[in-house]
Structure 1
């Protein structure tokens, strides 16, 4: 590697660290609870469960998320740092910087000049839109899947160009062959998918990259590139194998089912894709004008045959096609088309083809923004070829400096939960955001403010049992037992499978000697959760209290047989029997 490349890589490191090191002092917030600090699989390093269950099963919840490598990285962080947020934020920052450096290398191998590759990578590292994916600990999935994705594209690009790197470490020499590059590409793709589901879209980029390298020799594409085509086949097989494994073997559904299937958005793919044309232009605005960025957004559902957003999107596609044609005709390159298609391909998983847990999020741009910048490079190179050097030299440094300042400012918004949620609620009053703010107030001991925000959340959307459960916990802290009982009952009435509310409600009923009400709850809890000695001990006590003597004796016998060598457990069982 030349000294100039090493120097540019050093500058990229400084840019990334300068932008994100201030975030190290930030707290946990948002979904960090389920994914990190209340996730038993993370805290206990339960490797088997991390790879065989949904991502937040360790927090006692179900989801369609399956991100074992991201969860594993949290577990490793926990082994090193405990629950000190600084370690988790440091890992996120370093991953982001490493991804930017590997991107720089990939862009050079894609045929982009060294200087342009540097500026694209620098903007990728410093752009404020990346804040959501970097400073929010649980958003690590974005940087991990992007890290593996770019490595996979790099090895595949080398394979397409028949370039086989040679490495020299002391007296050890290693030259990568075709089989090595194929194997590495498949491994990196699999690691990307296992880091975050959206990584599956990378398959489209592999095909796009293959076509871009062979556009000028289309007639010889099949005969001269058998190993590349074979690799694409293996990558496709990997994608299908992953889907079968998670859906059929692990029974983790791909569909999130977060929208009413009878609603226009939930029932019509046309409405969803039409709405996506509106979100596209919001994404463009985020990139060009990253002002007042925030987490929770409302997006208008477009339920009509034609809209201004559909029209301007079609006009944009025509513009891209024209610029792409002139670029290919004059310069024999296709960066305009390649970059624009990269942008679209990596947004496909969140385009509405399959409904997901939101309509628009800033962190969804983490990988697509790379394609957009390649697209912009192609446009500028085609329209302003003679002035491109001046643009890179004079204009982009100013933009980069502004981006770094905005990113540092944006980092501070994520510094603590109360500040973050209040900031976001200024833009969008949602039930989820009010619930999260209430949880933050409760954690800070400001219970009255917590209750007020839980009630606001319920007014906005009386749909989530989690809010009533959280409200019940706050009432418990305030000593309002009757209100807590009613809140937990409402949560269970809304969703009979919302088991976090069962425990505290059962405890309240037992304290009031309402054993008949507690009995069906404890039965349902035991029948739908993993075996737990303490829960079964409570069940045994309730059976005796409700004079279900036969069932109680059978359960006592079963528990004794399971704990024959555990004298402490046997003593606890005998204590319940004698008491009753």
Structure 2
């Protein structure tokens, strides 16, 4: 056994050795570099357990509650500082420990050491895990899985060992404690009680299912922990989910879309050659979609096979149902930020690895009856699969080298992705490659009808406006800022930026209105007020530039005057508001909004001066 454990350690470290040289990528920058998820003092430690994870608006009821993950990041930070290799080493260690623990769990569960060993070899080498291992912020899946397996291990000890009295209860209590740790690491741990029942059905009580009632007290114990966690989590966060809606805001669309996602997961496990971060999801609205029909049929066939093999091939049944049960939390019926992600497969892939190893072991047993030489065919196949997985994983680690490599790769493989374009644009903007950033953001803002994305258009437009202002292209910035001010009228930042753009095109009178509007909506910060007051005085003394015909044609004058009218109305300058709305109406006589603006201005003026 020691030799096999050493082999597992060597496989894991060899395959992920090149990930140690990768940088911080994606949300690592906010969660670790900006210390959003780093505990820095005693108050921070208290806040980690008394509030949700940072990164969610206080207006959202829900979010993530993962204090163990914040603690894990913080321990790394205390040891390594902001050196990425240390964080990556922790991830590789976590993956390796998870594999070793899985080996011991499967030996107890399956009672077939070769199947357990081969399952873990496939698990450690499979490329689908690169997102969880090579990306520092993907470690939540490894941490919760580690505690999940520890809880399962002590449950198995309590059930299979001939322990009585206090020793048996001690194993249950330790198992429950690790279950709590798993829940505090990631929400996907909620499936543990179902996996325990699944184990009992497939192995413990498979000949006498009626005896499963004997284990009812144990099930109540685990469901009691789960219920307590859910109540506590709700009390902390005030809701469930991530604040997003379900796909298409329809349970039917969610079911069809998730069916296709789950079938896609199976394909990725079988052929993990085209992996992409921030992968795009096309919504499925009808059963008549051939991809939906095919996906539903594949999933149904697998579920039926799970029931049919329950007695004759319990290992296969267990692997099938493990896959589906552990995917329940990411079935999208409870809204999440991402509809699909490779890291979601970290624990479900265990089921796939069990199936693959069991099939190869069954083939090996069959070949053994036909002669010694045939056994090497099976052994060679297992080695070939491991090498193929290892090579693909090693190569995929290079994609996670930095933000540009991972998001450029995502765009090549999944050109409809909006998130990858946005992240690539942000990366280029930070290194002052504004042309490349502009191209990425313009690609992100393109309409993608039928595709789901949690990236909101205002984020893209805000980035474009900032780039155009920095690059000295105020005319282009105005278009996006006008759109933003329509939807965020109380955002002093957008009003300020639009004022800056107006100054750059030589219209200080327009800028004056926007700076005064920004001052009226800005927080009461003396320094901020001083800045705006100086900007207002500057606009009053700055000379305006004559408006060229070319500028006249390029400016969205109707939107500009309508926005100025709105600003004047907010400042209670009713005559100026009516004048601005009237100019907008003269440009577009069919503008309902401009007519309504005039009506509202006259109404408020009458109420103010009866």
Corresponding residue for residue 297 of structure 1: 279
Distance 1:503 1:191 in 2: 47
Corresponding residue for residue 101 of structure 1: 100
Give, in angstroms, the shift of residue 438 of structure 1: 0.8
Q: Can you list the C-alpha shifts for 1:440-492, whole angstroms capped at 9, x where unaligned? A: 11222212211221122122469432223333443454355676677566446
Distance 1:200 1:112 in 2: 26
1:319 equivalent to 2:305? Answer yes
Corresponding residue for residue 522 of structure 2: 522
Distance 1:71 1:538, change over 3 A: same
Corresponding residue for residue 261 of structure 2: 279
Q: Can you list the C-alpha shifts for 1:513-551, whole angstroms capped at 9, x where unaligned? A: 76522234314xx7xxxxxxxx4653587699999xxxx
For 1:104-119, what aligned pairs fall within 5 Å after superposition?
Answer: 104-119=103-118
Asked whether the 8 Å contact 1:23–1:89 carries over to 2, the reply is yes
Q: Which moved more, 1:118-127 or 1:233-242?
A: 233-242
Asked whether the 8 Å contact 2:434–2:467 carries over to 1, the reply is yes
Distance 1:240 1:405 in 2: 43
For 1:424-443, what aligned pairs fall within 5 Å after superposition?
Answer: 424-429=410-415, 430-443=417-430
Distance 2:340 2:32 in 1: 24
Distance 1:350 1:499, change over 3 A: farther
Structure 2 residue corresponding to 1:52, chosen from 50, 53, 56:
50
Corresponding residue for residue 184 of structure 2: 194
Distance 1:339 1:497 in 2: 54
The secondary structure found in structure 2 opposite 1:195 is coil
Distance 1:540 1:250 in 2: 38
1:349 equivalent to 2:335? Answer no
For 1:12-161, what aligned pairs fall within 5 Å after superposition?
Answer: 12-42=8-38, 44=40, 46-57=44-55, 64-161=63-160
Distance 1:137 1:460, change over 3 A: farther
Give, in angstroms, the shift of residue 117 of structure 1: 1.2
Structure 1 residue corresponding to 2:200, chosen from 195, 206, 210:
210
TM-score w.r.t. the length of structure 1 is: 0.78
The secondary structure found in structure 2 opposite 1:358 is coil
For 1:260-275, what aligned pairs fall within 5 Å after superposition?
Answer: 263=248, 266-268=249-251, 270-275=252-257
Q: Which moved more, 1:503-512 or 1:358-367?
A: 503-512
Rg larger in 1 or in 2?
A: 2
Asked whether the 8 Å contact 1:413–1:420 carries over to 2, the reply is yes
Q: How many pairs does the alignment contain?
A: 509
Distance 1:466 1:252, change over 3 A: farther
Corresponding residue for residue 245 of structure 1: 232
Distance 1:72 1:504, change over 3 A: farther
Distance 1:310 1:253, change over 3 A: closer
Distance 1:365 1:475, change over 3 A: same
1:404 equivalent to 2:390? Answer yes
Distance 1:160 1:493 in 2: 63
The secondary structure found in structure 2 opposite 1:145 is helix
Corresponding residue for residue 168 of structure 1: none
Distance 1:475 1:44, change over 3 A: farther
Structure 1 residue corresponding to 2:175, chosen from 179, 185, 188:
185
Asked whether the 8 Å contact 2:246–2:334 carries over to 1, the reply is no
1:365 equivalent to 2:349? Answer no
Distance 2:208 2:499 in 1: 71
The secondary structure found in structure 2 opposite 1:254 is coil
Asked whether the 8 Å contact 2:144–2:183 carries over to 1, the reply is yes
Asked whether the 8 Å contact 2:119–2:356 carries over to 1, the reply is no
- Considering only aligned residues, what root-mean-square deviation do their CA atoms show, in Å? 3.4
Corresponding residue for residue 466 of structure 1: 459
Asked whether the 8 Å contact 2:492–2:517 carries over to 1, the reply is no
Distance 1:305 1:453 in 2: 35
Corresponding residue for residue 456 of structure 1: 443
Distance 2:69 2:315 in 1: 32
TM-score w.r.t. the length of structure 2 is: 0.75
Give, in angstroms, the shift of residue 303 of structure 1: 2.8
